[in-house]
Amino acid sequence: MAKLTIIHTIQELQALLDRNKRQGQTVGFVPTMGFLHEGHLSLVEHARKQNDVVVMSIFVNPAQFGPGEDFDAYPRDAERDAGLATEAGVDILFMPTPEEMYPQEGGIRILPGSQAAELCGASRPGHFDGVLKVVLKLFNIVDPDHSYFGMKDAQQLAIIETFVRDFNLRTTIVRVPTVREQDGLAKSSRNVHLSEDERKEAPAIQQALQKGARLVAEGLPIDEIEQQVSDYIVANSSGSIDYVSLLAYPALTKAIDNTSEVIIACAVKFEKTRLIDNIIISTKG
């Protein structure tokens, strides 16, 4: 197994990566907030195949959590993460402190456009401003050839793809499919906050989305599909609906006539945590 280098400062990371880049090595980047699971490890697996050096960051980014959200409760386990990162083949693990990433607040905000108007952008105001801020900083620090993002966070991925295109950022975004438990629940660091009963019910989310996909194929109206997906989740779990929305993907507009793919995305609140999931459906038959 290759040796993992753990780095906490930007200066050290850039000095190390400068050496790799001078030798002509390509860099793949997996940004995370830690508490790693198979979803993250699948990002690493993709990065490992396409690059000489794989860098993972672990940073629970305060800028993307709103007041009253789960920043403090977000699960953290640096030692376990380092072990999993080593096994997965990460070369460099970047674990900065909040002070290293945000030494002072300059007040500059990056505002996402219309893709942030719905879904998590609507129910977590400012969330994607914070995501874009940290992602831009991380891209500038790591300067990766390829950057890997999971489809479970489909809205985040769509916004970051637009950000990279609109601002000519020099990295290629690679979409990686959602990894699921055997019963269909999307892998998420937040799943540890489900009670035993909630864990048994949570696969209803993916079942509801699959049902939604069948209703899209049958040509039902959008609001009826959204209602039936919500009803299924409410009938089969104790979760309450934050949103269920059917939109064009990746534009994330309500107008779906000229799109080749639609997304049904949902967020469901359980007692201690809020889970998101989605399904993407081709409209071309």
- Positions marked catalytic: 40
- Write down the least CB distance from residue 224 to ligand PAF, Å: 32
Q: Which is nearer to ligand PAF, 21 or 37 (CB)?
A: 37
Cα dist from 90 to 5, 25, 28, 81, whole Å = 9, 15, 10, 11
Site for ligand PAF, rule CB under 6 A: 31-33, 61, 64, 131, 134-135, 153, 156
CA atoms 239, 80, 148, 207: torsion sign: negative
Q: Which is nearer to ligand PAF, 160 or 246 (CB)?
A: 160
- Write down the least CB distance from residue 98 to ligand PAF, Å: 12
Q: Which is nearer to ligand PAF, 61 or 230 (CB)?
A: 61
Q: Which is nearer to ligand PAF, 110 or 220 (CB)?
A: 110
- Write down the least CB distance from residue 33 to ligand PAF, Å: 4
What is the CB-side half-sphere exposure of residue 270 using CA atoms within 13 A?
A: 25
- Write down the least CB distance from residue 164 to ligand PAF, Å: 13
Do 256 and 248 meet the contact criterion of CB atoms below 8 Å apart?
yes
Q: Which is nearer to ligand PAF, 35 or 232 (CB)?
A: 35
User: 82: Cβ–Cβ under 8 A, 6 or more apart, which residues?
Assistant: 4, 6, 93
- Write down the least CB distance from residue 34 to ligand PAF, Å: 8
Q: Which is nearer to ligand PAF, 88 or 204 (CB)?
A: 88
Q: Residue 46 is encoded by which pair of tokens?
A: 């993709």
User: 54: Cβ–Cβ under 8 A, 6 or more apart, which residues?
Assistant: 27, 28, 29, 30, 44, 47, 48, 89, 90, 91, 92
- Write down the least CB distance from residue 105 to ligand PAF, Å: 17
* Backbone φ/ψ region at 278: left (φ over 0), alpha (ψ -120 to 50), beta: beta
